[in-house]
């Protein structure tokens, strides 16, 4: 998997909402109006017209269609052959159709509904794993325990992991190379809205006891503004998810206890208000073993054997 960071939604800031998007679009429009007026005045006074500054973002990932198709085949034919019936060409087309030749400021769940339906996948109950500020450990764990699923271990998550994409309402829909424009700024924001759909669906479909890997070596092991803290926990269905287990992992040698920290208590309160039971474990033993593979001589690792 690329870098195990499926991140249209930032871990450090909440999903943008429609008001933020509107502000971006309105702000961009105002800048264009000011520059246009400046250009007219410049022409009247014989001054050179100012050059519009373009967004210098990276735009859509190069070879995006080929990467999507290749990842789909790898997942369905090699990693999860039980999904070999999935039509990767239809999935690739649905992904492209969701954003090509469309204004990124107007992205909606409806645009991505065909893609969501084609990549639909049932994660068994008790096998859903969330993570926050602990990507590497969480995915090391699911690599070993392949019956467990993070979002990036699902078909849709595996395909989209680490990719960037955005549309352009003025394009023909065939040339991805022209996406490096001022619209890419809007695309970055719209991508976060799209990411919300993916994270929302993953949490909504969870059932049974669910787990989350948190980082106990930072001040706020649970961050209310993270994807997990602002999107996923609020879209768990209490009637389907009776319990959430937190595995709070510490750096090797860190002897602090995070399960009693204020940020973890905030998580417990949120879940209690949603009628979801909460349990917490510092340094969950199976994941601790994975940490010790890289630090076998550390005293805390020798005590595990």
> Is residue 50 a part of any domain in this protein?
yes
Share of the chain above pLDDT 90, in %: 55
What does the angle CA 2 – CA 195 – CA 1 come to, to the nearest 5 degrees? 10
User: H/E element holding 247?
Assistant: strand 243-249
pLDDT top residue among 129 and 179? 129
Q: Is residue 137 included in any domain, yes or no?
A: yes
Binning the chain into helix, strand and coil, the percentages to the nearest 5 are 50, 10, 40
167 pLDDT tier (thresholds 50, 70, 90): confident
50-56: Cβ within 8 A, 24+ apart: 52/182, 53/182, 54/180, 54/181, 54/182, 55/180, 55/181, 55/182, 55/183, 55/184, 55/185, 56/180
What proportion of the chain, given as a percentage, has pLDDT over 70?
70
List pLDDT tens digits, range 86-144. Answer: 999 999 999 999 988 777 767 788 899 999 999 999 999 999 999 999 999 999 999 99
165-203: string of b/e by CB count within 10 Å (b at 16+)? Answer: bbbbeebeeeebeebbbbbbbbbbbbbbbbbbbbbbbbb
Terminal-residue alpha carbon distance, the chain: 30
State which residues form the domain around 42.
18-302
Q: What is the pLDDT of residue 191?
A: 58
Q: Hey, how many other C-beta atoms are within 10 angstroms of the C-beta on 252?
A: 16
Q: Is residue 115 part of a domain?
A: yes
Encoding tokens for residue 211? 């787990």
What is the reported pTM? 0.77
17/138: higher pLDDT: 138
pLDDT at 256 over 70: yes
State the pLDDT confidence band at 192, using cuts at 50, 70 and 90.
low
Catalytic residue among 15, 88, 105, 207: 207
Closest CA relative to residue 73, chosen from 91, 88, 94: 88
Q: Does residue 12 fall inside a structural domain?
A: no
| 156, 116 contact by CB (below 8 A) | yes
Residue 262 or 169, more confident: 262
Please give the mean pLDDT across all residues of the chain.
80
pLDDT per residue as tens digits for the range 213-238: 999 999 899 999 999 999 999 999 99
**Residue 173: its pLDDT value, please?**
56
Tens of pLDDT, residues 31-55:
444 455 555 445 445 545 444 334 3
Mean pLDDT calculated for residue range 169-174:
62
166 is catalytic: no
Distance CA 181, CA 231 (A): 30
More confident residue, 201 or 171: 201
DSSP string, 96-144: HHHHTTS-GGG--HHHHHHHHHHT--PPPTT-BEEEES-HHHHHHHHHH
- Which CATH number is 153's domain given? 3.40.50.720
For residue 142, what are the contacts with CB-CB under 8 A and spacing of at least 6? 129, 148, 149, 150, 153
- Structural domains in the chain (count): 1
Instruction: Give the three-class secondary structure for 263.
Output: helix
């Amino acid at each position: 998997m690329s870098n195990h960071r499926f991140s249209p939604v930032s871990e450090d800031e909440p999903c943008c909402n429609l008001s933020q998007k509107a502000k971006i679009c309105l702000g961009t429009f105002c800048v264009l109006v000011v520059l246009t007026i400046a250009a007219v005045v410049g022409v009247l006074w014989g001054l050179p017209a100012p050059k519009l500054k373009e967004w210098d973002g990276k735009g859509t990932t190069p070879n995006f269609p080929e990467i999507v198709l290749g990842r789909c085949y790898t997942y369905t034919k090699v990693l999860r052959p039980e999904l070999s019936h999935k039509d990767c060409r239809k999935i690739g087309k649905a992904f492209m159709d969701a954003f090509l030749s469309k204004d990124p400021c107007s992205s909606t769940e409806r645009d991505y509904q065909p893609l969501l339906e084609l990549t639909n996948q049932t994660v068994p109950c008790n096998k859903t794993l969330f993570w926050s500020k602990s990507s590497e450990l969480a995915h090391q764990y699911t690599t070993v325990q392949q019956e467990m699923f993070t979002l990036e271990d699902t078909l849709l998550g595996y395909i989209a992991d680490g990719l960037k994409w955005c549309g352009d309402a003025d394009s023909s829909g065939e040339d991805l190379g022209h996406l490096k424009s001022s619209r890419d700024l809007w695309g970055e924001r719209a991508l976060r809205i799209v990411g919300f759909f993916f994270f929302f669906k993953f949490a909504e479909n969870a059932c049974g006891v669910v787990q989350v890997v948190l980082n106990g070596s930072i001040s706020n092991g649970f961050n209310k503004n993270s994807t997990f803290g602002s999107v996923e926990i609020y879209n768990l269905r209490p009637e389907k998810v009776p319990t959430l287990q937190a595995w709070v992992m510490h750096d090797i040698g860190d002897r602090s206890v995070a399960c009693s920290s204020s940020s973890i208590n905030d998580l417990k309160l949120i879940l209690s208000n949603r009628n979801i039971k909460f349990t917490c474990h510092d340094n969950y033993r199976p994941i601790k073993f994975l940490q010790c593979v890289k630090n076998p001589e550390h005293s805390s690792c020798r005590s595990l054997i």
